[in-house]
Amino acid sequence: MGYKFKDITILVVDSQPALLDLIRGILQMFGCKKIITTTAQDKGLALFHEYKPDLLIVDWELANSSGISFTKVVRNDKENPYVPIIFMTALSSKERVAQARDSGINEFLAKPFTADSLYKRIEAITEKPRYFVKTGDFTGPNRRRRSEDNFDGQDRRQLNPKQPKE
Amino acid sequence: MSIETDILREQKRIRNADFVKPPNALKQKLGVGGLDPSVIEKAEKFIAEHTVDFGMLGAQLVQALGDGMSTAKEGGLAEEPAIEVILYPAAQLKAQGTMFHFPLVTRIAEILVSFLERVEATNDDVFDIVEAHKSALTYVLSNNLRDETSAHGRALQNTLQEACRRYYRSRQMMNEAGA
């Protein structure tokens, strides 16, 4: 038993070729055979449509673009909007983390990272999938994980509405 | 009347949420049981043994940091983009230093990233602090200094952190004087 990475396709998009090589190597050690890499958003989107990957690993900074806009385009895709996205960045302020989360990513991976931290993000996506929320101009995983226990489509606030103070 | 209706309709559109449970395709393909810890150990070993000429790569990123600072100094950029042209090369140095066996580069770049994420606008004082980080990174790379826990490495980090703290204190005093 154990995860079988050999059957999954992973698309990695990062502006730095040296890091792409390193990530490819880590995923190969996990057993992944189909790893597609690119440095740019437009090429990444073309590969996304061509290969229909099972997982995206995307950096904040892309050649002439950003992982934020890449994620938003993917989340509005008609065929595969729910593909899991791990978002990498060395930026760490609360505002930037919130900005990344608001683009619709599944998991956040702080750079520099270890093989274990990358694996843990993949494991979290696999073992603790989230419902997706589609509202206004946002499509992405529901952030309110606690409300997903025995989720029946009703928000927790609707189940336990606070009474306004008199 | 119609404008109010449009606003209400837009608010309703934003507030209405559809919840979707997507199929867990990743789980279906990966199966169960996770990865054996020995596999992750091998992957960590791969990172440890992966060799890249980070001296050259790091120097290119330091050059990009300098170019970003020149662009920001020229003016013509709004405040946030002016910070970002410096911030992104700094973030790359932070990200890649440790992964390519230069943890001291990561530590110094991390101080700079934290600083740039806190400042609201560029000015001469900000540029002086960025320049100090750039000089430190150039020195570290050209002398192949890697260990962030060495006396030399710690001294560099402390000096840069203190420069950032002095900047925060001076801004706080200016804000208080203005208030």
* Neighbour count for residue B67 (Cβ, 10 Å): 13
| pTM listed for this prediction | 0.86
* Inter-chain CB proximity B46 and A115 less than 8 Å: yes
pLDDT recorded at residue A147: 47
* pLDDT above 50 (res B65): yes
Structure token pair of residue B115: 């600083």
pLDDT recorded at residue A111: 94
Check CB contact of A3 with chain B, cutoff 8 Å.
yes
Chain B hits for A30, Cβ within 8 Å: 35, 39, 43
Which residue type is seen at A114? T
C-alpha to C-alpha distances, B85 to A89, B69, B77, nearest whole angstrom: 16, 7, 10
Check CB contact of B163 with chain A, cutoff 8 Å.
no
* Mean pLDDT of the A42-50 span: 96
Binned at pLDDT 50, 70 and 90, residue A163 comes out as very low
pLDDT recorded at residue A63: 74
- Distance separating alpha carbons of residues B140 and B111, to the nearest angstrom: 15
- Residues B110-120: pLDDT tens digits? 999 999 999 98
More confident site: B55 or A156: B55
Structure token pair of residue A10: 């992973």
Note the ipTM here. Answer: 0.85
- Distance separating alpha carbons of residues A6 and A4, to the nearest angstrom: 6
pLDDT recorded at residue A144: 65
Binned at pLDDT 50, 70 and 90, residue A97 comes out as confident
Binned at pLDDT 50, 70 and 90, residue A166 comes out as very low
Binned at pLDDT 50, 70 and 90, residue B179 comes out as low
* Inter-chain CB proximity B26 and A3 less than 8 Å: no
Please report the number of interchain residue pairs, chain A to chain B, with beta-carbon separation below 8 angstroms.
Answer: 154
* pLDDT above 70 (res A162): no
* Mean pLDDT of the A91-114 span: 91
Q: Is-contact A112 A90, C-beta < 8 A?
A: yes
Give the one of B36, B99, B118 whose C-beta lies nearest to A19's C-beta: B99
A138-141 sheet: strands from edge to edge? A138-141, A132-135, B18-20
* Mean pLDDT of the A16-31 span: 96
* pLDDT above 50 (res A40): yes
Return mean pLDDT, chain A.
Answer: 87
More confident site: A147 or B122: B122
Residue in this structure with the two tokens 């404008």, named with its chain if needed: B3
pLDDT recorded at residue B14: 60
* Mean pLDDT of the B72-91 span: 90
* Mean pLDDT of the A58-75 span: 90
Binned at pLDDT 50, 70 and 90, residue A165 comes out as very low
**A interface test, pick of B47, B93, B114, B116 with most A CB neighbours within 10 Å:** B47
More confident site: B176 or A83: A83
Residue in this structure with the two tokens 């992944």, named with its chain if needed: A32
Chain B hits for A84, Cβ within 8 Å: 26
* pLDDT above 80 (res B3): no
Give the one of B43, B52, B94 whose C-beta lies nearest to A29's C-beta: B43
Structure token pair of residue A54: 């099972």
C-alpha to C-alpha distances, A103 to A70, A74, A100, B6, B29, nearest whole angstrom: 9, 10, 5, 26, 26
Give the one of B36, B57, B88 whose C-beta lies nearest to A2's C-beta: B36
Full DSSP string of A7-51: G-EEEEE-S-HHHHHHHHHHHHHHT--EEEEESBHHHHHHHHHHH
Q: Please report, rounded to a whole number, the percentage of residues in chain B having pLDDT higher than 70.
A: 94
